[in-house]
Structures are given as C-alpha cells and as structure tokens.
Amino acid sequence: MTQTVKRAGFNPRAYDLLVGLDVDKKSMSATFADVQNLLNSIRLPYSSTQLLNYVRKQYPEKSRVAFIYEAGPTGFGLHDELTSAHHTCLVVTPAKIPTVPGNRVKTNRLDSRKLVQTLRSGDLQTVHVPARAYRELRHLVQLRDTHVRQLSATKCRIKALLLYEGIAFPDEKGRWSKTVIAQLQTLPATRAVRFKLNQLLESLEFHFKSAASTQKEIRLVCKADAELRQSIALLKTIPGIGWIVAAHLVARLGDWREIDNVRSIAGFLGLVSSEHSTGDKQNRGRITRSGDSRLRNKLIQTAWIAIGKDAELRAFYRSVYQRQPQKLAARKAIVAVARKLTTRIYAVLKQQRPFELRADISTAPLTTEETAGLRERLDTAQNESF
C-alpha cells in the first residue's frame, strides 16, 4: 500500500489547464478542464509524448498544466515523465476518490472526468511518490519477501508430504538445519514420493539461495547510496532492529523528510486502533491492519527482541500486560510495544541522530516464563522466515 499525504498546498486556480487521466496498460482517457468549465475528453495511446504533444497543439496558450491519475499497476513512470517536462502531476489512491452511491455506469472517460473534477476541488488525498532510490530498494525488499514466503510454504509442503505418508520428520521439534535437509535427501520412500520430495528440496534450496542473494544485493544497494546508508544506520541503533527490518522500513517509508508527524508511521503500518465513535460514546476496536502486513509482522517480531534488550520497553510491556485480560495480554502488550517503536523510528529519522538507551531506568530481566514464551515465538518466526 502506498503512503498517502494531504496536498493542502495544491491550488487549482494557479493552473491554466487541469487534466484527469484514467490509465491502463495500452491507452489513457484524458479529460481537460480549467477552474470553471470542462473542455473535452479524448482517448490516447499510453504515451506521455503523445499526451504532451496534444496539450501543446490544442492548448498553446495554457502553459501551467496539472495532471492527475490513479495509482495502479502502471506505477510512477507516467508521473516521472510528466514532471520531467516541468508539469505538476499528482497520483491519487483510488479508495480516496469520492463516488456517488448507486452509480452503475463506469467507463474510462467517466473516471477521467471524475478525477479532473476532484482536482478542481483542490481537496484531495494524493500519494507521496517516492524517489527512484527508494523504489529500487522496494523492488528488492518485495523480491526477498516473495522468496521467504515460498521458502516457508515449501517447508510446510515437505512436512505435509511426510505426514501424509506416515514418515517421521528427522527433527522431533520440527526445526530445520543442514543436518535435517541431508537426512531428508536420504529418507527411504517409494519412487513417486522420493521424486516429489526431491523436487520440493530443490525448490527449498532455490528459494533459500535466492533470498540470500537478494539480501546481499539489498546491502550493496544501500551501502552505495549515502542517504539510504545513513537512514539504515540510524534505525539499527534502535534495540531489536537489524538490517532486514531497517531496509524494509526505509523502502516503505521513503524519504524521511516527507513523514508528517509522529503518529503517521503507526497509522501507515496499521498499528493504531480502529474506531467508530459518536457523540460521547467511544468505541475502539482492533488495530486497523492497513499498509504492508509483512513489515507490520516484522516490527512485532522486533518488539519481542526489543523487550529483552531495553529495560524501558520491558517495563512498558509489563505495564500493558497487567491491565489486559490474561488470554489477550501478551498479544496486546507486544502490539503496544511495536506501536511505541514507531515513535523511536520517527525520532531517529526526523532528528537524524542515533537512538540512545536510557540509563536511568532499571527493571527486572525477563522471567523464566517470559523467556520461554519469547523463545517459542522467535523460534516459530525463524522457522517461518529466513
């Protein structure tokens, strides 16, 4: 999900021509308007060059032009080409475009018209378009997560096959290691089962090596860019955050200068409570779970590590834990810790300084019960990831 930001500074009266674009992979529908009237609508091939040529020929007297289109599978290429031609281009989230209930007619032309009308109002939610370096990093992070998901799925398929055939998994606790994989390669089985198991083991090795090589490429890309390198170095000073989580945070949050306030990161990651309140009645529910679910899960795993290293977070975890029902206490407390980590992430990025542990807070280390629970969760996460 792309981060949204309020474009309060956009003034439609500062432009001579407003253009709404509904874009697909082969063509685009464009509706032209000024601040007073809708002018016309056309259909063009998906080409910024043809679009700009049309604007120059049909509206030569209108030099100040603003474009808008929906975020989608075509990415930000059109945005880059239009802004490089010194025009304003806004990208809007489809869910933020107001719609008329009961309207059963939808065409590209009508969508482009609705976009330009939204642009004329000057009151819209647009997405922050990340710089090229952050987009490149995002590609690599997504690729690594894809291989990790496939790695986890392949492990489950192997265990399911052995369970179905009544073959015991080499490790009693279900853990994976080089020794376990070597034993799987020599397990006695029928010809068909042996063939399927070998294919799954080859797939397991492929995704493992692919995830490792992608992680190596992420490190090289981040080290080669001074801004990425600086942001990741600052994030790693926060207890619990390592290379993988730091790189994912930088890729998804983008330029730290564009982060609005201390609450925006938690909202972006879906770590804030949903709410449906009216009058004096407040009704808050579960966290919204919006945004990147993989990054949110990584941050929660980071929180489990952080409470073992940071006395302040450990005390905060216990204070929340004690106020919650026993059945949900651990889950709610660790989500609260993850939410608190977002404030630290905001602070180190916006202030461009490393995080420093507070020396004036002391609390008892994790108890045996807490340590056992923590170890169980981290072992599960390790088996499910890379």
DSSP 183-207: HHTT----HHHHHHHHHHHHHHHHH
The answer on pLDDT for 156 being more than 50 is yes
- Position of tokens 């990025």? 349
The answer on pLDDT for 6 being more than 70 is no
Return the CATH number of the domain spanning residue range 4-127.
Answer: 3.30.420.10
Maximum mean pLDDT: which of 36-40, 121-125, 169-173:
169-173
Q: What is the pLDDT of residue 89?
A: 93
Report domain extents, the chain: 4-127, 132-224, 231-384
pLDDT tens per residue, range 196-228: 999 999 999 999 999 999 999 999 999 999 999
The answer on pLDDT for 160 being more than 90 is yes
The answer to whether the CB of 127 falls within 8 A of the CB of 258 is: no
pLDDT tens per residue, range 179-196: 999 999 999 999 999 999
Residue 8 pLDDT level (bands cut at 50, 70, 90): very low
* Pairing relationship of beta strands 284-287 and 273-275 according to DSSP bridges: antiparallel
Q: Read off the pTM.
A: 0.85
The answer to whether the CB of 270 falls within 8 A of the CB of 287 is: yes
The letter for the amino acid at 35 is V
| Arithmetic mean of pLDDT, 120-141 | 88
pLDDT tens per residue, range 346-381: 999 999 999 998 776 767 777 766 666 565 565 555
Contacts of 255 (CB under 8 A, 6+ apart): 128, 130, 131, 134
Q: What is the pLDDT of residue 2?
A: 44
Residue 4 pLDDT level (bands cut at 50, 70, 90): very low
5: its two tokens: 């930001």
The answer to whether the CB of 31 falls within 8 A of the CB of 112 is: yes
Q: What is the pLDDT of residue 378?
A: 55
